[in-house]
Amino acid sequence: MTRLVNKQDIIHIIILLVVVLGIGIYLIATTVLIAKDGVSYINYAKGLAIAPLEIIRDCSEYAPRSYTPGYPFLILMTHKLVSLFGDGSSILTWIYSAQAIALFCRILALIPLYFIGEEFVGSKLSFWAILILTTLPYPARFGSDTLRDWPHMLFLATGFLFLLWAARYRKWLMFALVGVVAGLGYTVQPMCAQLVAYGILWLIFSIFRRERKYSMSRTKLVGGLALLVIGFTVVAAPYMKIRGEILPTRLQQIMESFSSCPIHSEIQEQSSGSYTAELVPGDITKAFGKLIGNISEDLMYYFVPALLIGMYYHFRRKPKSESTFFITAFILLNIAALILRYCCCGPALSKRYILPLIAFTIFFVPVGLQVLGREIDKLLCKTVCRNDRSEEGTRRWFFILLVTGLAICVPKLFRPIRVEKKGYRLVAEWLKENTEKEDIIVVPDKRISFYAERKCIESLGTGFPADAKYVIRELKDQEKPPAQMTEVWSSYLSKKKKKDKVVIYQKI
């Protein structure tokens, strides 16, 4: 096994880590409002501090049951560390702990992602690919928010890298590391179990492959298969036992959809009541459309042509290799999982769900930019060189295209997180200063009560308890106050949305 890290790799990684750290700290410092899911993760972490086994077994009092304890546990550990230097009871301490560990995981995840890219496209193009990834607005925001996406990416990328190395360098013992990392990642996001599936597929394929000149012996392949499964089981099985279920909640929902009826089924969604799932071609088409739209938006539309061109050239040049096998399996499985989620678990496909697809295919963007640069230079360059192409001109156009793309990302990248919801923070401050803890308050968003440190009732409708003392509503047009309520405070949600107001009504 040759040396995997050289001086140039270290320089590239340091530059990338400095860039992502600077962007991440800025986004944390300017965050206006955390994600809705972040409230559940923080509450989950608080619950783990009180009764860990009971909360892991059933977290529904604190968060939807589909949530896993991995990220909340990291929040709790970070909070304990931060509390040594500040007020551990402050709600902001919990928020900054959740954001800090998400950013830390994002920083660490870039290291295995860089080496994965090096396996695909080489160190130079991998560096530019990760630089593009660090400046994409949505992935950057997820890494500075109270979300588990980058902790998930850390385990997924690390396990994937070990899988590539184990297959390429014929290191059968390394499959044990893949299993362990997949098991740890499973507690953060069950989709990390896909690493085990890729390893099993490759090992079984290798066992029955006819051409064995450069492959491991069947004994080592079988040993690698055993180590992979054992490594995952040793880590994940205790969590499954405490949880009381082997399959994750989302997968159970999808399976129930198929088992109930091949065309129509009804399942329960933890966060939004009930949802009727229709497994029909029309829904699959809509899911593909939503998926393509979200990928395009994540890539700021500008990088989409480069991605498609880069993938075409990469797969055409390297049709048979370990990296091609694993990335093909990864793309196909993740697309299938997203389509099933859309069709069976609710008509929504968050940009967060496609982060793994973006992160694992971003390496093909610089390849596409190179091809585009060469073609542009071929059309415009007047000098004639070998193959009628100028290498210097290709590099020049590559950097022009790259810098243009980075410049397109900058305005949205440095926009404070959820600045359009600034009115919610103002409401929370008003409630904290002007209400008592025993007051019954109806809010349209649980983040208001979270920041206000009040026990509130979340309601999006017009009805509310008769004994409610305060009612907060988000208005887009003029609306009369609820019966026996009078307006006591109002504010625009943001400077740009002058018609959208958030209003506090008090019982007369």
Asked if residue 284 and residue 240 are part of one domain, the reply reads yes
Domain boundary pick from 397, 413, 429: 413
Which burial class, exposed, middle or buried, applies to 365 when counting CB atoms under 10 A from its CB (0-12, 13-18, 19+)? buried
Asked if residue 433 and residue 347 are part of one domain, the reply reads no
Cα–Cα dist 61/381, whole Å? 66
Give the pLDDT score at 268. 38
Domain boundary pick from 413, 430, 453: 413
Domain boundary pick from 378, 394, 413: 413
Asked if residue 444 and residue 404 are part of one domain, the reply reads no
Do the Cβ atoms of 297 and 307 come closer than 8 Å?
no
Asked if residue 467 and residue 387 are part of one domain, the reply reads no
Cα–Cα dist 237/245, whole Å? 10
Q: At 391, list the tokens.
A: 């290498």
Name the nearest CA neighbour of 20 among 105, 97, 135. 135
Amino acid, single-letter form, for residue 90: S
Residue 458 main-chain phi, psi, to 5 deg = -85, 125
Give the pLDDT score at 2. 47
Total domains in the fold of the chain: 2
Give the pLDDT score at 182. 96
Say what the pTM is.
0.90
Amino acid, single-letter form, for residue 440: I
DSSP class of residue 145 equals S
Name the nearest CA neighbour of 142 among 103, 108, 178. 103
- Identify the residue whose tokens are 């697809």: 357
Do the domain assignments include residue 474?
Answer: yes
Give the pLDDT score at 393. 82
Amino acid, single-letter form, for residue 405: G
Asked if residue 179 and residue 38 are part of one domain, the reply reads yes
Contacts for 24 with CB less than 8 Å, ≥ 6 apart: 103, 106, 107, 140, 143, 144
The region that residue 388 occupies, defined by phi over 0 for left and psi between -120 and 50 for alpha, beta otherwise, is: left
Over the chain (508 residues), what is each successive 10-residue block's mean pLDDT? 74 96 97 94 94 90 89 96 86 95 97 94 95 96 96 97 92 94 95 95 85 72 94 94 82 67 40 46 83 94 96 81 89 92 77 94 96 88 54 89 96 93 92 90 92 86 79 77 83 74 87
Asked if residue 342 and residue 435 are part of one domain, the reply reads no
Asked if residue 443 and residue 396 are part of one domain, the reply reads no
Query: Average per-residue pLDDT in the chain?
Result: 87
Residue span of the structural domain in which 462 resides: 419-507
Do the Cβ atoms of 404 and 303 come closer than 8 Å?
no
Asked if residue 107 and residue 90 are part of one domain, the reply reads yes
Do the domain assignments include residue 322?
Answer: yes
